[in-house]
Chain A
Amino acid sequence: MKSSVRTFKLEEKIVKGLTATEKKILPILVQAVKQVDKIFLVQENDLYKGANLYPHDATREEIEQAAEDNSRIFSPFTIVKRDNTGKLIAIDYHKEYSKVLASVSSLLQTASKHSDNKSFKRYLETLSMGLAEGKYQESDRAWLAIKDSNIEVIIGPHERYIDKLFFIKRAYQASVGIIDREKTQRAKFIRDIFYTTTGYRPQRITPPSIVDVQVQNCIVMSGFLGRAIFSRQHLPSDTETTERYGSRILGYLSAIDFKFERFINPIFNAIFEKNFRASYSKKLLEEGNYYYVLLTAIAQQLHRYRNSRSRLKELFPILDEANSVVSGITHAKHLVLKGVIDQKTLEAIMIAQICWAFSEWILYRTSNLREDYLKGDALIFNFLIREGALQEKSGISWPNFAKMFFEMENLAVIFTRFLEEGEYLEAQEFLSKYLSLEPFKDFDQHLIKIKPL
C-alpha cells in the first residue's frame, strides 16, 4: 500500500517566523505526524465498505445484531474482530495500534519538554497521554485552549469517511503546519459576516463560543488527511465535545495551492470554452478557489444539526458536503452586497465549485476515499444541469451565473432542511432523483490528461 505521507515545501521566510523553541520542536512533530501513516495503512482498504475496521466476511446485519449486546462494537474508537469462536468483539484502537502509538506519544512528550508555551505544552502532554490511553476529550479541550502558538499540530482518530458501512469508525490522521496570521484574521472576518447573517435555527448545534478559524501552511499530512488531501477540516469531530467545549476550522493553504495547480486550474482550462476562459485570470481563479474552500468550511460548521448523522445514516456525509457547498456560496451573497468581494470574484468562486466537482471525479478513478464528496458535488451538478443553470455541449461547460446562484439558493434550502429535520426516506428519494455520476462522463474526453494522484 502506498504511503499516506504528503509533504509540502514551505518558503524559508515562513519557517523564519517561528521562535527558537518552535524551530526545535517542529522536526520532532513532523516525525510524529509521519508515524501515523503506519496505523492508517492498517485501517484503510478500498475493496471493502468497512475497510479493515470490521471483519470482511461480516454482514451489516450481523454487526448490527452484535452491537445490540455489545455497544462497544459501534464505538468510533474500536476495531471489530472475530474471537476464536467466531463471535464479533470490539478492540480499542489504543490497544490494537499500541506499538505505533507508543512511538508517537514518546515524540510528543519530547516536544512538550522543549516547549515554552504553557498552553501548547499542555496540549502536547494531554495528546501524548490521550493517544496512548484512548482518551481524546481532554486533549481536544487542551487543543481548543492553545494560545499564541505559531505551530499547529493534530494527531488522532478523527474522520469517519473510510467507514462506508456505518460512517462511525474514525481513521487516524495527522498534520503539522505553521499558522498564517494574516490569512487567519481575514478568515475570521469572513466568518463573522456569515455568523451575523444566518437565521435562528432551533436544531442547530451551537458551540459555547464562536467557532475558531485557523489558516495554516501545512508542512506534512499523513493518515486519512494525507491520503484525501483535505483543504479544510473542522475539529473536534465529536458533536458532544463541540457542543460543550467549542470547535475550530482548519484551512490548509499548502493543500489548497497544491490542488489548484494540480486539478482546479487544469480542469478550468479543459472544460470551459476559450472565450469564456479569457475573462478569468489565473490569479482571479486562484482567489476564487481560496474563497470557495473558506466559504464551504465556514458553512459546514454553521450548519451542524442535532441527530442529523443518526437520522440520515450513510446519506449524511453526502448531504453534508452538498449543503456546505451550496450554503457556502449562497452565504457569499452578503460579501458581495457589502463590497467585501466583487461580482467577478463570486463568479470565480462558482467556477471553482464546478472544477472541484470534476477534481473529485478524477480522483475517483483510482480511489473511492472521497466518494461522498463526489456524490455531494454530483447532486449539485446534476441539479444545475437539469434546471438549465449550466449548459453542456460536447464536454464544454457554459454557466449562467445568475441562474446558478438562484438554483443554489433553492438547493441550500432543501439540503439545510434535510440536515435539520429530514427523514432518511425522503432524503433517499431526493438522491435517487438527482444523484448520478453519468453527466461527468460526457467531459471525460477533455479530462483524460489530468491524472489522479
Chain B
Amino acid sequence: MPFMDKKFILTRQGLVSLKSEYDELTKVKRTQITKRIQTAREFGDLSENSEYDAAKEEQSLLETRITQLEDVLKRAEIIEPVKKADFVVIGSTIVVEIEGEKDEFTIVGTIEADPSKKKISNESPVGTAMLGAKVGEVVEVVTPIIRAKYKILEIK
C-alpha cells in the first residue's frame, strides 16, 4: 500500500486522546514556546544565547509532532470496541504463555501502541502473528533472527 494511502487504525478512545493532544499543542504549547523564544531574543546576542537555541529546538520538535498528528487524524480509521471474540482482533486483550511465563497485552493500531502500557502494535511481529488466532492455539512468531512460541490462554 502506498504510504499516502495508509490508514491509521485507532480506537475511539485513542482518537479522543490524540485530538486532545493536538488541541493542547496547537492552542497552549505553541503560544508558550513563541513567548519563550521572544523572551530569549531579548537576552541579546543570538549566537551565544543557549536559552534561545533550546527554545528553537523545542519549537521544531513541537511543529513536527503537530504535523504528524494532523496526518494521523486526517487518515484515521476508527475500529469499534470489541465484544468478546473467539479469535484475536485489533482491540483484543489476550493472555499468553511464553517460555513458561504468563503475559497479557492488548493489540492496538500502531499509533496507539505503547508496550510499556501493554499496548502492542498490530504491525509488530507479535501483533501480526496473533491476529486471527484462537484460544489454545500455539502461535509461532518468527523473524529473521528470532523464533518464539506463544500459547493463547485467554482472549478478553
Q: Does A333 touch B at the CB level, under 8 Å?
A: yes
Please report the C-alpha to C-alpha distance between residue A298 and residue B139 in the assembled complex, in whole angstroms: 28
Chain B: interface size category: 20 to 34
The answer to whether A336 touches B127, judged by C-beta atoms less than 8 angstroms apart, is: no
- Residue among B116, B120, B145 with max Cβ neighbours from chain A (10 Å): B145
- Please, which residues of chain B bring their CB within 8 A of the CB of A199? 99-101
- Residue among A189, A198, A337, A343 with max Cβ neighbours from chain B (10 Å): A337
The answer to whether B124 touches A337, judged by C-beta atoms less than 8 angstroms apart, is: yes
Please report the C-alpha to C-alpha distance between residue A338 and residue B113 in the assembled complex, in whole angstroms: 10
The answer to whether B127 touches A402, judged by C-beta atoms less than 8 angstroms apart, is: no
Q: Does B141 touch A at the CB level, under 8 Å?
A: yes
Partner of A197, one of B101, B116, B120: B101
- Please, which residues of chain B bring their CB within 8 A of the CB of A145? none
- Please, which residues of chain B bring their CB within 8 A of the CB of A16? 50-51, 54
The answer to whether B145 touches A346, judged by C-beta atoms less than 8 angstroms apart, is: yes
- Residue among A333, A338, A340, A347 with max Cβ neighbours from chain B (10 Å): A338
Partner of A405, one of B121, B124, B146: B146
Q: Does A339 touch B at the CB level, under 8 Å?
A: yes
The answer to whether A336 touches B54, judged by C-beta atoms less than 8 angstroms apart, is: no
Partner of A339, one of B98, B125, B148: B125
> Chain B, 88-132, contact with A by CB distance < 8 Å: what is the 0/1 string?
000000000011110101000000010110001101111100000
Contact A343:B143 (CB < 8 A) given known A336-B125, A338-B120, A338-B124: yes
The answer to whether B144 touches A192, judged by C-beta atoms less than 8 angstroms apart, is: no
Q: Does A193 touch B at the CB level, under 8 Å?
A: yes
Task: Kindly provide the distance from the CB of B119 to the nearest chain A CB, expressed in whole angstroms.
Answer: 10
Q: Does A12 touch B at the CB level, under 8 Å?
A: yes
The answer to whether A339 touches B145, judged by C-beta atoms less than 8 angstroms apart, is: no
- Please, which residues of chain B bring their CB within 8 A of the CB of A340? 115
A residues 165-205 near B (Cβ < 8 Å) are: 189, 192-193, 196-199
Please report the C-alpha to C-alpha distance between residue A197 and residue B50 in the assembled complex, in whole angstroms: 43
Contact A333:B120 (CB < 8 A) given known A12-B50, A339-B125, A340-B115: no
- Please, which residues of chain B bring their CB within 8 A of the CB of A338? 105, 115, 120, 124-126
Q: Does A13 touch B at the CB level, under 8 Å?
A: yes
Task: Kindly provide the distance from the CB of A284 to the nearest chain B CB, expressed in whole angstroms.
Answer: 15
The answer to whether A337 touches B50, judged by C-beta atoms less than 8 angstroms apart, is: no
Task: Kindly provide the distance from the CB of A19 to the nearest chain B CB, expressed in whole angstroms.
Answer: 16
Interface of A is mostly: helix
Please report the C-alpha to C-alpha distance between residue A192 and residue B117 in the assembled complex, in whole angstroms: 10
Q: Does A401 touch B at the CB level, under 8 Å?
A: yes
The answer to whether A336 touches B146, judged by C-beta atoms less than 8 angstroms apart, is: yes
The answer to whether A339 touches B144, judged by C-beta atoms less than 8 angstroms apart, is: no
> Chain A, 1-41, contact with B by CB distance < 8 Å: what is the 0/1 string?
00000000000110010000000000000000000000000
- Please, which residues of chain A bring their CB within 8 A of the CB of B143? 336-337, 343
The answer to whether B98 touches A197, judged by C-beta atoms less than 8 angstroms apart, is: yes
The answer to whether B101 touches A337, judged by C-beta atoms less than 8 angstroms apart, is: no
The answer to whether A198 touches B101, judged by C-beta atoms less than 8 angstroms apart, is: yes
- Please, which residues of chain B bring their CB within 8 A of the CB of A402? 144-145
From A198, which residue of chain B is reached at the shortest CB distance?
B101
Task: Kindly provide the distance from the CB of A150 to the nearest chain B CB, expressed in whole angstroms.
Answer: 16
Task: Kindly provide the distance from the CB of B99 to the nearest chain A CB, expressed in whole angstroms.
Answer: 7
The answer to whether A337 touches B146, judged by C-beta atoms less than 8 angstroms apart, is: yes
Please report the C-alpha to C-alpha distance between residue A197 and residue B126 in the assembled complex, in whole angstroms: 14
Task: Kindly provide the distance from the CB of B149 to the nearest chain A CB, expressed in whole angstroms.
Answer: 11
From A346, which residue of chain B is reached at the shortest CB distance?
B145
The answer to whether A405 touches B145, judged by C-beta atoms less than 8 angstroms apart, is: yes
- Residue among A16, A189, A339 with max Cβ neighbours from chain B (10 Å): A339
> Chain A, 337-373, contact with B by CB distance < 8 Å: what is the 0/1 string?
1111001001100000000000000000000000000
Task: Kindly provide the distance from the CB of B121 to the nearest chain A CB, expressed in whole angstroms.
Answer: 5
- Please, which residues of chain B bring their CB within 8 A of the CB of A337? 124-126, 141, 143, 146, 148
- Please, which residues of chain A bring their CB within 8 A of the CB of B115? 189, 193, 338-340
- Please, which residues of chain A bring their CB within 8 A of the CB of B125? 336-339
The answer to whether B121 touches A339, judged by C-beta atoms less than 8 angstroms apart, is: yes
The answer to whether A339 touches B123, judged by C-beta atoms less than 8 angstroms apart, is: yes
What are 26 A-to-B residue pairs whose CB atoms are below 8 Å? Answer: A13-B50, A13-B53, A16-B51, A189-B115, A192-B116, A193-B115, A193-B116, A197-B99, A199-B100, A336-B146, A337-B124, A337-B125, A337-B141, A337-B146, A337-B148, A338-B105, A338-B115, A338-B124, A338-B126, A339-B115, A339-B127, A340-B115, A343-B145, A401-B144, A402-B144, A405-B146
Pick the 7 closest A-B CB pairs, nearest first: A339-B124, A189-B116, A338-B115, A339-B121, A337-B126, A405-B145, A337-B125
A→B interface (CB under 8 Å): 12-13, 16, 189, 192-193, 196-199, 333, 336-340, 343, 346-347, 401-402, 405
B→A interface (CB under 8 Å): 50-51, 53-54, 98-101, 103, 105, 113, 115-116, 120-121, 123-127, 141, 143-146, 148
13 more CB-based (< 8 A) A-B contacts, given A13-B53, A189-B116, A197-B101: A13-B54, A193-B116, A197-B98, A199-B100, A336-B145, A337-B125, A337-B126, A337-B146, A338-B105, A338-B125, A339-B125, A347-B145, A405-B145
